[in-house]
Amino acid sequence: MPEHPRATAWKGLRLMHVHAHPDDESSKGAASTAMYAANGVDVHVATCTGGERGSILNPKMDRPGILENIHEIRRQEMERARDILGVSQDFLGFVDSGWPEAEKEGDPLPPLPEGCFGLVPVEEAAVPLVRLIRSFKPHVLTTYDENGGYPHPDHIMCHKVSVFAFEKASDPDWHPELGEAWQVLKLYYHHGFNRPKAQALHEAMIAHGLESHYGERLERWTKDDAWDARVTTHVPCSDYFGVRDQALLAHATQIDPDSWWFATPRELEDEIWPTEDFELVVSHVETTMPEDDLFAGISNNEGPS
Task: Enumerate the known binding-site residues for Zn(2+).
Answer: 21, 24, 155
DSSP 8-state class, residue 48: E
Q: How does DSSP assign 61-74, residue by residue?
A: G--TTGGGGHHHHH
DSSP 8-state class, residue 214: T
Q: Which residues contact 8 (CB under 8 A, 6 or more apart)?
A: 40
The β-bridge partners of 277 are 234
- How far from each other are the two terminal CA atoms of the chain, in whole angstroms? 27
Annotated binding site: 21, 24, 155
| Angle formed at CA 101 by CA 95 and CA 104, multiple of 5 degrees | 165
Residue 279 contacts residue 188 (beta carbons within 8 Å): yes
**Measured distance CA(212)–CA(203) in Å, rounded:** 8
As to burial, measured by CB atoms within 10 angstroms (0-12 exposed, 13-18 middle, 19+ buried), residue 226 is exposed
- Coil, strand or helix: which one is 190? strand
